[in-house]
Amino acid sequence: MDTLLKILVITLVLRSSSALPYIDWSKVGPNILHVNANGFISHINGTSRIINGHEVTPNSVPYMAAVRPDGVGFCGASFIAPTWALTAAHCVDTASYTLVVLGAHRVLQSEQTQIVVPSRSIILHPGWNPQTLLHDVALVHLQQTVPQTSIIRPIPLAPVNSGTFAGSTGYLTGWGYTSDTSPTIAPTLQGIHLRIISTQECSQYVGQWAYETNVCTYGSDGNINIGACYGDSGSPLVVDGVQIGIASFIGNELCAAGSITSYARISSYVNWINQHIYQ
């Protein structure tokens, strides 16, 4: 199979109420989509994580969130407004509800800093296409207002005219698996700095899956393979304190092999996002 056209998509999850409920993590796992060279998307078993990242300082990423749609998957997300979270459409497109976890570091444990909030509604981008992976963006409207604190705080979104960010360094955080053989999601929040590349350069690795409405990061730092993997779907890519992307898919079946990571480009969708959160 031509690995340049081999795309993997990442799925992740979490649940909620005003008090943190018990979560049976043995029943939680990523729902992964694999796209082969013929463009056929199939469900496969797998795992996910940030590759060769580092544990972040606890509660130092106040916008980081997790979602658990219908209690059967796990994805990253970002907190963008007092009653709104942002994630990838493929994480929640079949869910009737999701729980959003905020203020977590050790996401597998019940921490005093955590707030778990159920969704009021899930809004998929109207252009979301699971066959092409275009417009992989979703909003989660929370049932209650979440007060801003030092450890739970919304992140600003990149404006329409913010440019491509090619050549910049982005920061990705998530709870995906830490190796291809790891049995569970990362026990602590992981982070990694990634080089953002142009759409043209991205197309050299993923061909027709390189979209102008997406941002790409390169999956190698010298001799070390780095980047996202299954379980990091929906997680925010950030430059200078501003979210510029939503983790959508990767370009290699094995994360340890290193690959391109593609993200829905925030500046392509910020008007649609603002229409909902400020209506």
Q: How far apart are CA 21 and CA 67, in angstroms?
A: 14
- If residue 132 lies in a helix (H) or strand (E), which one and from where to where? none
Question: For this structure, is 141 an active site residue?
Answer: no
Instruction: Tell me the CB-side half-sphere exposure of residue 84, using CA atoms within 13 A.
Output: 17
Q: How far apart are CA 4 and CA 205, in angstroms?
A: 5
Q: Which of 136, 232, 267, 268 does the annotation list as catalytic?
A: 136
Q: Angle at the Cα of 76 (from 254 to 113), degrees rounded to 5? A: 130
250, 265, 117, 74 alpha-carbon torsion, rounded to 10°: -10
Q: How far apart are CA 70 and CA 229, in angstroms?
A: 22
- If residue 200 lies in a helix (H) or strand (E), which one and from where to where? helix 199-206
Question: For this structure, is 43 an active site residue?
Answer: no
Strand partners, 115: 102
**Which residue from 70, 55, 35 is spatially nearest to 140, judged by alpha carbons?**
70
- Amino acid identity, position 239: V
Question: For this structure, is 136 an active site residue?
Answer: yes
Q: Which of 233, 259, 262, 267 does the annotation list as catalytic?
A: 233
Q: How far apart are CA 22 and CA 26, in angstroms?
A: 12
Q: How far apart are CA 62 and CA 74, in angstroms?
A: 19
Rg of the Cα atoms in the chain: 17
Strand partners, 65: 77, 102
Q: How far apart are CA 86 and CA 276, in angstroms?
A: 12
Give the active site residues. 90, 136, 233
